[in-house]
Chain A
Amino acid sequence: MAFAALMERHGARALALALRMTGTAQDAEDVAQEAFLRVWAAAMRWNPDGGARFTTWLYRVVVNLCLDRKRRAPMQDLDSVPEPADSSISSFERYGRGQASALVAEALATLPERQRAAVSLCYFGEVSCQEAADCLEISLSALESLLVRGRRSLRDHFARRGLRKMGDVL
């Protein structure tokens, strides 16, 4: 079936974006499922001649679902919040434990949602800045402002974690 082929082609990207946005595999799967169901329901309204790429449309649906999910999520009990990572652990030890991906996930999680969406789309999403702006339904200059703040926050976060220079782990 054509729709199954569509999911086979774009499912990994939708899951990846949802995972970067939500931070958990279960939430990412739920979001990706809902996104494809919405794509199915709205497929008749999508006009490929309108200039929009299918991936832009799909990413927009995924990002909006992630933002909605975050808004609906109940406030976390303070006691359940994990203690911040011990910054006395050196960057080499951290990297040696194979936790670099966790470190990136942790850094992304500290960003406000729209900055996280902008960074996720532009760093990993294989889309241009203009397409990322279309996904977020904002202007290109607004997207660039989000990226500026996002990059600075990431750099500050890594610095607080003891990675003063990325050369420490590369």
Chain B
Amino acid sequence: MTLSQFIDALDRYGSALDRWPPAERDAARRLLEQSAEATVEWTEAVQLEQFIRGNDPATAIGTDAVIRLSNAVMARLPAQPRRRQGLWKRLLLDFGLHGSNLVWVPRFAMSMAVAALLGFAASNHLTDTAAQQVSAAELLSMSTSYLPLDLR
């Protein structure tokens, strides 16, 4: 590799020799061992890249700029369509029995009302044992484990 080829390769691939194609990298390393001029060129290329990277105009960008960007983009996004809710979920929402944004008082009152309604409905189906024609003796026999007692 000649000095002029080395300078061209420096401009093409940059100063990091490990990123060069293997054949050119090996030739460049051999040249650097022999040529002081090549070493000067390579050192200047390294310093140029260090200067540019070390003084990136974008280093002034802070987290506040990213937050501002995020807020601005989110504000400009189209509103998302509301997901369709099932009939029962909507009814429960309307009655305050579902959802986390409801105050607890109406939710508690509605829960108590539903419990009372269920209790009333259940009581209508209860059978009245006193109305049945069961003798006191039969009740006694059913409630005791003393089976040998024959009351009839």
Q: List the A side residues contacting B57 at CB < 8 Å.
A: 19-20, 23, 101-102, 104-105, 108
**Beta-carbon nearest neighbor of A14 in chain B:** B69
| Contact (Cβ within 8 A) A8 B70 | yes
**Beta-carbon nearest neighbor of A11 in chain B:** B66
Q: List the A side residues contacting B68 at CB < 8 Å.
A: 29
Q: List the B side residues contacting A25 at CB < 8 Å.
A: 60, 65
| Interface assignment of B100: CB less than 8 Å from any CB of chain A | no
| Interface assignment of B24: CB less than 8 Å from any CB of chain A | no
Residue from B12, B48, B51 whose CB has the most chain A CB atoms within 10 Å? B51
| Contact (Cβ within 8 A) B11 A166 | no
| Contact (Cβ within 8 A) A7 B47 | no
Bound Cα distance A16, B62 (Å): 10
Q: List the B side residues contacting A33 at CB < 8 Å.
A: 69, 72-73, 76
**Beta-carbon nearest neighbor of B45 in chain A:** A151
Query: On chain A, which size bracket covers the interface?
Result: 35 or more
A119 to chain B, nearest CB (A): 8
| Interface assignment of B58: CB less than 8 Å from any CB of chain A | yes
Give a binary string over B1-41; 1 marks a CB under 8 Å from any A CB, 0 the rest.
00000001011111000010000000000000000000000
| Contact (Cβ within 8 A) B44 A123 | no
Q: List the A side residues contacting B59 at CB < 8 Å.
A: 101
| Interface assignment of A170: CB less than 8 Å from any CB of chain B | yes
| Contact (Cβ within 8 A) A7 B73 | yes
| Contact (Cβ within 8 A) B65 A15 | yes
Given A16-B61, A20-B57, A170:B50 Cβ within 8 A: yes
Q: List the B side residues contacting A102 at CB < 8 Å.
A: 57
| Interface assignment of A138: CB less than 8 Å from any CB of chain B | no
Q: Report which of A7, A20, A151 forms a contact with B58, defined as CB distance below 8 A.
A: A20
| Interface assignment of B127: CB less than 8 Å from any CB of chain A | no
A sample of 28 cross-chain residue pairs with beta-carbon separation below 8 angstroms, ordered by A number, consists of A1-B74, A4-B70, A4-B74, A7-B70, A11-B66, A12-B61, A12-B63, A15-B66, A15-B69, A16-B56, A16-B58, A16-B61, A19-B57, A25-B65, A29-B65, A33-B69, A33-B72, A37-B73, A100-B54, A101-B55, A104-B52, A104-B57, A123-B53, A144-B12, A148-B8, A151-B10, A152-B11, A166-B47
With contacts A11-B70, A15-B69 known, what are 5 further pairs, Cβ within 8 A? A19-B58, A29-B69, A101-B57, A104-B51, A165-B47
Chain A residues within CB distance 8 Å of chain B: 1, 3-4, 7-8, 11-12, 14-17, 19-20, 23, 25, 29, 32-33, 36-37, 40, 100-105, 107-108, 122-124, 129, 144, 147-148, 151-152, 154-155, 158, 165-167, 169-170
